[in-house]
Chains A and B, each alone.
Chain A
Amino acid sequence: MQQEVVLAMLAKEPSSGSGLRARLNDALGPLGEAMNDGQIYVNLSRLEKAGLIARQGIGMPGAGAGAGAGAGPGAGRKVYQLTAAGQERVAEWLTEVSWPKPDLAEFHLKLVAAAQAGLADPIGIVDAQRRELLRRLRDVERAAMAEPGGSQAGLLLEGIALRLQADLRWLEACERAWTDRRYR
């Protein structure tokens, strides 16, 4: 996870590490479990060193680095707020057009290599992958069904489901293409 996420979650109002955790849990629902507290505190510590956040009462830009690492015992009770530089960084981050890259080339080349070397049946590989993705989609749909209407986490789960659906459709195309090749 990018440290900008932690930074941006502090934009609403200053918060302690544990308060931040609660905000993230609200937004992520069942997916919040995947994030451990360590990640949050490591990010807070880095952001503080970078002068993007400061602990309340300990002064503003520059003071954070001298105050030692923000992580460690008691970090959950310290209240953090954005510095001017932090606010600027959040504004910048919001306008960035970034998107996770799907790594389909690896799977594609796996099929090509398996077929060329005669090591495995590409269709068997597609089939195994399809089962795995269906299992994941099943879990995502179950989690989505359990979310109350209008929940923020429900919207995230919908996004995951739609991506998995797209991947499954591509696998269907792979299966069709490799079946045709086999009988050519």
Chain B
Amino acid sequence: MNENDSADPLVRCRGLRKEYGSGEGMVRAVDEVDLEVARGEALAIMGPSGCGKSTLLHLLGGLDRPTAGELWLGGRRIDRLCERGLAQLRRHDVGFVFQAFHLMDELTAEENVELPALLAGRSPRDARQRARELLGEVGLADRADHLPSALSGGQRQRVAVARALANEPQLVLADEPTGNLDSAATLEVLRLFEDLHTAGLTLVVVTHDERIAATADRLISMRDGALVDETRLVGGTRGNLGDLAGLGG
């Protein structure tokens, strides 16, 4: 692709590769991936277990370092960052949402959300205020003092999303965010992601869940470490909703 056509994507990778082991037992979890994610885009990556989609997500967020290839975030090359540089990146530029929420059980919802801001060196007062704002945005202002164990699955995931936003990241990465949720809680997370998307955040979601994939702008399928298919999703069948429910005709 022409450099000028890419219109400054937020994420760009070229020939990205991640290998584990060596010799006969070598596994190429991510195999020569070229990918661009536009600013403000919501991208879903689907594929069977073990296809490398989580590994790819970890590379994009600096949780892991590629074996080869080039990776840029916001115009800055990050595949060669040292451990400290990666830690900075994870703290300031990227927010993570995981399937198992990864909240601290002994901290309240509010304390969980303010933690990243405290770690990034913001004052306790600022961190607390930001946490309150974020919990309000995810509709949990009245649950701020609750421990995670007192919250439903959907509420826990909303706290985790608020935490991911604590340091105003450029990019939010989510790994099976609805994997542990029932159908109603899945809709809560879909709504929340839709709000983030509308607010202009860039979102990359790795998922098995067709419902979350269907709400993305673009869907990529992954097999054996490689991207094999891309679908741009647009609506336009709205008039047929009734048919789907057995109405009309």
Contact = CB atoms under 8 A, between A and B. Distances in A.
B233 A138 contact: yes
Given A100-B246, A141-B211, A134 B231 contact: yes
A9 interface: no
B241 A139 contact: yes
A149 B244 CA distance: 21
A136 B211 contact: no
Nearest to A156: B245
A22 B140 CA distance: 34
Interface size class of B (residues with CB under 8 A): 20 to 34
A30 to B, nearest CB: 6
B244 A168 contact: no
Contacts of B213: 134
Contact of B231 (A131, A156, A159): A131
Contacts of B7: none
Contact of A160 (B215, B219, B235, B244): B244
A144 B247 contact: no
Interface string A133-171: 011111111111100000000001011111011001100
A141 to B, nearest CB: 5
B214 A137 contact: yes
A35 interface: yes
A144 B187 contact: yes
A104 interface: no
Given A138-B215, A139-B241, A34 B248 contact: yes
A138 B234 CA distance: 8
A162 B178 CA distance: 14
A98 to B, nearest CB: 11
Nearest to A163: B244
A139 B245 CA distance: 13
A118 B213 CA distance: 32
Contacts of B215: 138, 141-142
Interface in B42-93: none
B210 A140 contact: no
Given A127-B229, A161-B211, A35 B247 contact: yes
B183 interface: yes
B244 A145 contact: no
A31 B241 contact: yes
B243 A34 contact: yes
A28 interface: yes
A1 interface: yes
B168 interface: no
B177 to A, nearest CB: 15
Contacts of B125: none
A158 B184 contact: yes
A33 interface: yes
B155 to A, nearest CB: 13
**6 residue pairs, one from A and one from B, having the closest CB atoms:** A34-B242, A137-B214, A34-B248, A138-B214, A34-B247, A168-B210
Interface of A: 1, 28, 30-36, 39, 100, 127, 131, 134-145, 156, 158-162, 164-165, 168-169
21 contacts: A1-B248, A31-B245, A32-B242, A34-B243, A127-B229, A131-B231, A134-B213, A135-B214, A135-B233, A135-B235, A139-B240, A141-B211, A144-B190, A145-B194, A158-B184, A159-B245, A160-B241, A160-B244, A165-B210, A165-B211, A169-B210
Given A28-B247, A139-B238, A162-B183, 19 more contacts: A31-B241, A33-B239, A33-B241, A34-B241, A34-B248, A39-B248, A127-B229, A134-B219, A135-B235, A136-B244, A137-B210, A139-B235, A139-B236, A141-B187, A141-B214, A160-B245, A164-B244, A165-B210, A165-B211
